[in-house]
Amino acid sequence: MTGRAGNAIARCMTEDLPFGPALLPAGFVDLLTPDARTEAQGVAALMDVFASHGYDRVRPPLMEFEETYLAGTGAALAEQSFRVMDPDSRRMMVLRPDITPQIARMAATRARGVVRPLRVSYAGTCVVVAPVAAEESGREVMQAGMELIGLDTPEADAEVMSVGAEALSRLGVRDVSFDLTMPPLVPALLEEAGLPDAQRTKVLRALDRKDAAAVAEHGGALASTLIALLEASGPAEYAVAQLAQITLLPGARAIADRLIDTVAALRERCPDLRMTVDPVEFRGWKYHTGVCVTLFAVGRSEELGRGGRYLCNDDEPACGLTFRPNVLFRLTPPAPARPRVYLAQDADQAEAARLRQQGYATIGGFTTGAQALEDARRLGCAHILSGATCAAVS
């Protein structure tokens, strides 16, 4: 028995019909079969992998008070947030553009008394005013992620990333590159070397463009170090070997060594993981205080997820990873449909229940004989149950 006929229906349901762009706001979509099923089952699979490592599910609300949400790490999200007035309190509320600041808030409030390290997972919908990245079109954005709060070690970084890798593997997503960066490294280096502000801005811009000539021009006494760092980029083992040999002042050295240790800890857990390191990259990271990671499917430009180390509520070390199911599930095979059995009017209900338990979908029919056979075909059923007899639809 196969679900092939059912898939024809599925295809029909996901086909775009010409109702024009004005039906729904840009970036909001109707998800039909099988995409909605693939997304739901995929999120459940991610949550199950997280739970198997002790990450307990939490569910913060869709809306919060603006002043609570945008405090601390949420401040960077102000421009991305839709706001409405709460008629109850007369205070402004935001529709969350991101779940992670809510996890930090929960860790400091309702979960403050829970023993550390605290491991939590979450999955839910966010809404952004404009699409996050140029190549993206969605404004309703799903997030599914995990946070490890209360530990600041290379092993903790490695745990989060390796659980993420296991989750991707469970979903059947192959050839994902874990691209590691250390956003605090360059700022610490410039600070420690006492570079004047104007020069610092020029150096940062040059590093951002990976422009070695401009780095040499503006880097002053740091020029050779910075160029060595620029070159210490690529496959993880190559990059950390380079990084280990560069002479750095003590503050920057400690940060670089932490990146090296994290790579080693992650490699120990995931011998086959595709991993790159770029020690000078800092773009797009705002409140991060340690190793960060971006996940790309090889050959594709959209991020599958990202994460990194930060200070939860400015006082507790934390490391998290957030997947973007909207992107991820374009790469996963569609969740299989239950094969369909048409129930003729005289179908035995106990037998129908047995078929459902075995994994079939029984489609209630209200016809008999030739009409039932026609209806079964029309409804994508490969089998028909009449009385207690299940027969193939020829």
Task: Please list every residue from 117 through 136 that binds its own copies, using CB under 8 A.
Answer: 119-120, 122-125, 127, 129-130
Minimal distance, residue 210 CB to its own copies, in Å:
33
- 223 binds its own copies, rule: CB under 8 A: no
Q: Which of 46, 58, 292, 295 binds its own copies (CB under 8 A)?
A: 58
Part of the chain binding its own copies (CB under 8 A), chosen from 173-181, 276-284, 325-333, 362-370: 362-370
User: Which residue reads 């060595």 in tokens?
Assistant: 228
| Token pair of 318 as six digits | 């934390």
Question: What single-letter amino acid sits at 132?
Answer: V
- Give the Cα separation of 221 and 378 in Å (integer): 76
Task: Please list every residue from 267 through 296 that binds its own copies, using CB under 8 A.
Answer: 269
Task: Please list every residue from 2 through 21 that binds its own copies, using CB under 8 A.
Answer: 9-10, 12-13, 15-17, 19
Part of the chain binding its own copies (CB under 8 A), chosen from 39-47, 174-182, 215-223, 252-260: 39-47
Closest CA to 280 of 181, 179, 200: 181
Q: Which of 4, 30, 210, 333 binds its own copies (CB under 8 A)?
A: 30
Q: Which of 2, 4, 61, 374 binds its own copies (CB under 8 A)?
A: 61
Q: What is the DSSP letter of 143?
A: E
- Give the Cα separation of 213 and 69 in Å (integer): 42
- 236 binds its own copies, rule: CB under 8 A: no
- 27 binds its own copies, rule: CB under 8 A: yes
Task: Please list every residue from 160 through 189 that binds its own copies, using CB under 8 A.
Answer: none
Q: Which is nearer to its own copies, 265 or 280 (CB)?
A: 265
- 372 binds its own copies, rule: CB under 8 A: no
Minimal distance, residue 212 CB to its own copies, in Å:
39
- 114 binds its own copies, rule: CB under 8 A: yes
Q: Which of 64, 157, 179, 278 binds its own copies (CB under 8 A)?
A: 64
Q: Which is nearer to its own copies, 37 or 330 (CB)?
A: 37
Which stretch of DSSP H or E encloses residue 263?
Answer: helix 250-269
- Give the Cα separation of 201 and 222 in Å (integer): 14
Strand order in the sheet with 288-297: 56-57, 118-127, 140-149, 316-323, 303-312, 288-297, 176-181, 274-278, 234-235
Q: Which of 1, 71, 76, 153 binds its own copies (CB under 8 A)?
A: 153
Which stretch of DSSP H or E encloses residue 364?
Answer: strand 361-364
Closest CA to 339 of 319, 326, 356: 356
**Contact between 264 and 232 (Cβ < 8 Å):** no
